[in-house]
Amino acid sequence: MNPEIISTTTEEYKELIESLKKDGFEMMVDLTVVDWFRKKEPRFEIVVQFLSTSKNSRKTVKVFVNDEDLTIPSITEIYPSANFYEREAYDMFGIVFEDHPDLTRILMPDDWEGHPLRKNYGSGRIPVQFKNAPKVD
Amino acid sequence: MYTPDNIFTTTIDKAVRWSRTQSMWPVTFGLACCAIEMMAAGSAKYDLARYGMEVFRASPRQADLMIVAGRVSQKMAPVLRQVYDQMADPKWVIAMGACSSTGGMFNNYALVQGVDHIVPVDIYVPGCPPGPQSLMHGILTLHDKIMDGEINR
Amino acid sequence: MKNNKIKKSKLSNFKNKLDFWATNSEEGGWNISSTDEGSQKMLEDENEKQIKIQTGTEVVDDFVIDEDTSDDERMIVNMGPQHPSTHGVLRLQAELEGEVVRRVKPIIGYLHTGMEKTGEELNYFQGPTNTTRMDYLSPLFNELVFSLTTEKLIGIEVPKRAETIRILMTELNRVSSHLVALATGGMDIGALSMMIFGFRERELILNFFEKTTGLRMNHNYIRPGGVAADLPDGWQKDVEEILKIIPEKLQDYDDMLLDNPIWKGRLQNVGILTTEECFAYGVTGPSLRASGYSWDLRKSQPYSGIENYDFDVPTLNEGDVFARWRVKVLEIFESLKIIEQAMNNMPKGPYKVQDKKITPPPRKRLDESMEALIHHFKIYTEGFKVPEGDAYVAVESPRGELGCYIVSDGSAKPYRMHVRGPSFCNLQALPVIMTDSPIADAVAAIASLDPVIGDVDR
């Protein structure tokens, strides 16, 4: 099933979500972010998936967020399920959701620095040493 | 009367070692996939009770063996250390699975690359996840090593 | 003044002893500080929205406060992350009022593995190795959803035999996953025999998996373009055995639990989740079906040709823990129906797509032809390129809607790989089902949602 894709701006984002809720899209199933570092401007693309069980259809909403101004309105009032997803997006990408009840890190420890899923954040790979390892009898 | 003092000590030593191996109670430290295999090892078909080990203790105070089953994240590491510190001596650690032994296939920012960075590990059990047989082999190896005096606490 | 000093020194003495006992060293390396991760604490005073979320009154306000109790009886209790009945490393902070849970805050992230970052480093051929470790009770579903998304991006269709094998294997996986859910759920509530039984029957299915895929868990069997290997010789016999034994054993469970007054008393009217709350919190799967809403992606948005099979979607109206348990049992029966049909109608033919760009040559060709060897090497080291674009595909996993969102930039590795874990969303409904019930029911409530923490934290 191919979801219908709607692109919008940060200003119209919340209104659009409200109209979707009235339209009969009961569930917000997924919210994620794509980091287009040095590939696209604006840098962050927020992708939200909606599901209507009554109409049996899906919709995808895409919003671009600028690197300088990382704020976007929160939709937790409309869809309470967005709570964890927005916290995850904040944790992993540093997107700030305005009026979110508890915008703290969710997966990483609280004192963690940086946002791991950004493209300019290294994967933290530790090189594996195969040579000169102590011999085992 | 002269008695060689080594006879007496070795026998006590042996008795102590034997008693340590025969009822080694593990603490439930299930983290990820390996925890399911650890549970499978404890239940009907594989039956860890044969080695006096079916009592998985919820409290670290009552346990002797920590089976670190699964990947240890940076957030979990202090918790793991605290659970280990709370265990009463003598205590042993088995790193079960590739992730807790070396970090496994996830060589990235989130995981501790081997639980031996945090706690001393006695036995590494390979596999992703190791089957219950592998885990039991690891446990039996630990028993043997304690009996031989290779691991001495 | 003097008294105070003496008391303090006594206390520090005691602490030294404690340290010595715990760490076996005079310095006392063990300090009794908590391992709390900063501000992810439940506070005494939260803002209004937070209180609404934590008391589960955001959607339906059924929050009743007994006026007679004083504030002194309120306390905040921490449960987990190392706790035997939180199904992994879930941590909960609960505010108790005497015996009653008033507020709950789930804290997650203790199993965060960075799989989405690792997924960007592995090519599409290696991708299932990564995703299969997310939801470790239903690994084949994770592989399936990753493969379906990749196939959608490339625009290929897998052969009929591969599709049928996929259905057969995933439905077997659903049975084994539900069996573990029943087993651990039973153990949490105190039905210890259920634990032994569930794992015993699961071994039957895992043996078949081991025979087919080579591993008991984390198979990496379903790959983009088909499945990794054909079914082994004599597979019908094993599946027939499973189909024969599991219903008998399920009957045993029913004899033991269905009319058991203790089981009923502990589960009925506990942790009620209404359809409205399910929609609001994005709860899918057995929990949604137990609340009286018949929604199954296998029926409404079918994948891998599952629309050709004849099965029902069990739905119950109570929405309590008992209904969620019952739906899982009934779903096993439906899955067995699908398995039987898949076994009887297994088409012949290739089990991988016959596209040389995607499928590596078979093993026996490597000994004969050098081109095949080079081709094999290229596919396994570089992988195959996937056209630019993005796709979201969802399947019905044992826990609900399992989605995968992949963004491709035209190279052999995904630019962004995100998996929508059903447990992650379902966990948000935990405050709703846990609040305003005794602390003894909390364990039953957690077990009924059946969260897999690997799926939550990824």
pLDDT in tens, C362-411: 888 888 888 888 888 888 888 888 999 999 999 999 998 999 999 999 88
Is the minimum CB–CB distance between C2 and chain A shorter than 8 Å?
A: no
Is the minimum CB–CB distance between A17 and chain C shorter than 8 Å?
A: no
Q: Establish if B123 belongs to a structural domain.
A: yes
CA distance A77 to chain C (A): 9
Q: Return the DSSP state at A125.
A: P
Q: Do B108 and A121 touch (CB under 8 A)?
A: no
Q: Do C38 and A111 touch (CB under 8 A)?
A: yes
Rounded to 5°, angle at Cα C62 from C450 and C284: 30
pTM of the model: 0.89
Is the minimum CB–CB distance between B105 and chain A shorter than 8 Å?
A: no
Q: If you write DSSP's letter for every residue of C379-422 in order, what string do you get? A: HHHH-----SEEEEEEEEETTEEEEEEEEE-SSSS-SEEEEE-H
Q: Which residue of B has its CA nearest to A116?
A: B109
CA distance C128 to chain B (A): 13
Q: Establish if B16 belongs to a structural domain.
A: no
d(CA C449, CA C453): 12
What is the per-residue pLDDT for C175?
A: 93
Q: Which residue of C has its CA nearest to B45?
A: C200
Q: Which residues of C touch B86 (CB under 8 A)?
A: 22, 30
CB C154 within 8 A of CB C221: no
Q: Establish if B19 belongs to a structural domain.
A: no
Is the minimum CB–CB distance between A78 and chain C shorter than 8 Å?
A: no
What is the per-residue pLDDT for C31?
A: 45
What is the per-residue pLDDT for B47?
A: 84
Binding-site residues of B, in ranges, read 33-34, 99, 128
Q: Return the DSSP state at C438.
A: B
| Number of domains, chain B | 1
Within 107-136 of A, beta carbons closer than 8 Å to B belong to 107-109, 112, 116, 121-126, 128
ipTM score of complex: 0.90
Is the minimum CB–CB distance between B103 and chain A shorter than 8 Å?
A: yes
Domain that holds residue B121: 26-148
- Residues of chain C predicted below pLDDT 50: 1-2, 6, 17-35, 37-39
What is the per-residue pLDDT for A129?
A: 67
What is the per-residue pLDDT for C29?
A: 46
* Residue-wise pLDDT tens digits, C96-117: 888 888 888 888 888 888 888 8
Per-residue three-class SS string for C3-26: HHHHHHHHHHHHHHHHHHHHHCCC
Alpha-carbon dihedral C13, C18, C20, C24, rounded to 10 degrees: 180
Q: How confident is the model at residue A66 (pLDDT cuts 50, 70, 90)?
A: confident
Q: Which residues of A touch B108 (CB under 8 A)?
A: 123-125
* B143 pLDDT more than 60: yes
- CATH value at residue B140: 3.40.50.12280
Q: Establish if B53 belongs to a structural domain.
A: yes
Query: Residue C326: phi, psi to the nearest 5?
Result: -65, -40
Q: Which residues of B touch A109 (CB under 8 A)?
A: 74-75
Q: Which residues make Cβ contacts (< 8 Å) with residue C151, sequence separation at least 6?
A: C157, C158, C224, C225
Q: Do B32 and C197 touch (CB under 8 A)?
A: no
d(CA C150, CA C140): 15
Q: Do C392 and A60 touch (CB under 8 A)?
A: yes
Neighbours of chain B (3+ CB pairs under 8 A): A, C
Q: Establish if B9 belongs to a structural domain.
A: no
Q: Establish if B63 belongs to a structural domain.
A: yes
Across the range A8-17, mean pLDDT stands at 89
Q: Do C137 and B111 touch (CB under 8 A)?
A: no
Q: Which residues of A touch C300 (CB under 8 A)?
A: 53, 56
Q: Do C108 and A102 touch (CB under 8 A)?
A: no
What is the per-residue pLDDT for A1?
A: 66
Could you tell me whether strands A44-52 and A27-35 are parallel, antiparallel, or unpaired per DSSP bridges? antiparallel
Q: Establish if B44 belongs to a structural domain.
A: yes
* A28 pLDDT more than 60: yes
Q: Establish if B2 belongs to a structural domain.
A: no
Q: Which residues of A touch B74 (CB under 8 A)?
A: 108-109, 112
Is the minimum CB–CB distance between B74 and chain A shorter than 8 Å?
A: yes
